[in-house]
Structure 1
């Protein structure tokens, strides 16, 4: 029996989304792994709040909310830009309490909010990717919409 896993994700304003997509393309142009090559129609820059089995208890999401993308770094095998704001942390805690999560990485004490640039970055590419994107200034904008991704059906719907 397959278990449906749903994400709750925040989408970025046009300027932030464009900046992240530009980083995807820069990595790809340098011959490095990047989400630019992930061609599924649901692929777009986002911040995942939680993974859950149901959206039944999801609270209202008060958007837009401010967010700042920080310097590029590795998060495990992923290349990411961290995403921060007090409002983001408050919304995450509310969603966690209401909808819960089936993954302990999304517990408030463990959650590392971020936007992914590359997943499963090979070890030999890591230093090149970090060097390529070193020194980027923080970039502020807003999370403007929310969606849920169904990992079994590979579809999204707006929240």
Structure 2
């Protein structure tokens, strides 16, 4: 079953304990971000100490309700311009409660090679994220099968990654 619109937004309102994502692409083409990316390329930066948007505000709701939200993003260096832009937003998202981790596979084998992006809700429902090669989203699909492999992918991703702030510090050393 494809998910769109209100049914998709409801997933983020209705989960009971955890919403978690695996991100595997070096770039995502999101129409809502195009203007921000142009500004980023022109040298504009957000102030992570004062930045707030609908996503950070929703993270506050998630925390108040005793829930968690997180992700692991698989990357290789050098980071794409898109990842640099995204990392700028990751810092305030982490501060707002998003458990963002980075799995850098630049100099090692990727244990999750071939695994596509997905969201998992409450460790019992998986939504597969389908993208074109350039990062343009095609669709979201509720996975109808066994979620066990996705729980293993999550376990591996968490074990093989580091917290975002730790990763960023390692880039400046």
| Both structures adopt the same fold (TM-score exceeding 0.5) | no
Q: TM-score range by the shorter chain?
A: under 0.3
Name whichever structure is richer in helix by fraction.
Answer: 2
TM-score (normalizing by structure 2):
0.24
TM-score (normalizing by structure 1):
0.25
Name whichever structure is richer in strand by fraction.
Answer: 1
> Higher relative CO (CA 8 A, sep ≥ 6), structure 1 or 2?
1
